[in-house]
């Protein structure tokens, strides 16, 4: 990563941390909270989407949120690698969506590995679930509470456990 890129990223991180502190510690009307989240993400948050506070992100500008999304309180999005949330997704309280990892080798530990996360239409992420970097959660899939998802989840399936495994198919 170039020095210019690192400096720009750091500038955005610092700005967004101030915005997040304001968002999560002050009282806001719904329209004010939506405006702050729009500033954090750099995109207009649809009126049909509801984000319960507190809401956390480390970067913010690589989060894309579609229509009729519900994000419950205490959700954390590590988004430098990109997080896309399609229409009608439900995200339970305390879930983690992670698009950044670090190198396994000690000399590479401080280097970023960026892998986007994609949550497809009508998926449901349970409370305290963790979606790891590079994962695609398929359309209509359900991630059980507390699951740690390390691999792609096929559409119309339920996954649970650590690491998450398919436990059920969902009839359409």
Quote the Cα angle for 119-74-26, to 5°: 125
List, in order, residues 6 or more apart from 91 with CB less than 8 Å away. Answer: 69, 70, 71, 72, 75, 85, 97, 119, 125
The reply to whether 102 belongs to the active site is yes
- Give me the helix-helix angle, 30-41 and 3-25, nearest 10°: 170
Q: How far apart are CA 165 and CA 42, in angstroms?
A: 35
Nearest one of 146, 91, 144, 94 to 117, comparing CA atoms: 91
Which of 6, 102, 165, 168 does the annotation list as catalytic? 102
Give residue 38's region: left, alpha or beta (phi > 0; psi -120 to 50): alpha
Catalytic residue numbers read: 102
């Amino acid at each position: 990563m170039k020095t210019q890129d690192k400096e720009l990223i750091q500038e955005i991180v610092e700005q967004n941390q101030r915005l997040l502190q304001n968002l999560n510690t002050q009282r806001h009307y719904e329209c004010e909270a939506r405006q702050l989240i729009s500033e954090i993400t750099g995109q207009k948050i649809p009126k049909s989407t509801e984000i319960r506070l507190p809401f956390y992100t480390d970067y913010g500008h690589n989060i894309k949120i579609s229509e009729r999304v519900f994000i419950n309180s205490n959700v954390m999005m590590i988004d430098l690698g990109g997080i896309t949330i399609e229409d009608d997704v439900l995200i339970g309280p305390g879930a983690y969506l992670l698009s950044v990892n670090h190198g396994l080798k000690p000399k590479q530990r401080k280097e970023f590995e960026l892998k986007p996360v994609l949550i497809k239409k009508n998926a449901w992420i349970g409370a305290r679930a963790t979606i790891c970097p590079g994962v695609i959660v398929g359309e209509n899939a359900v991630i059980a509470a507390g699951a740690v998802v390390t691999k792609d989840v096929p559409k119309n399936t339920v996954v649970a456990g650590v690491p998450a495994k398919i436990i059920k198919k969902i009839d359409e």
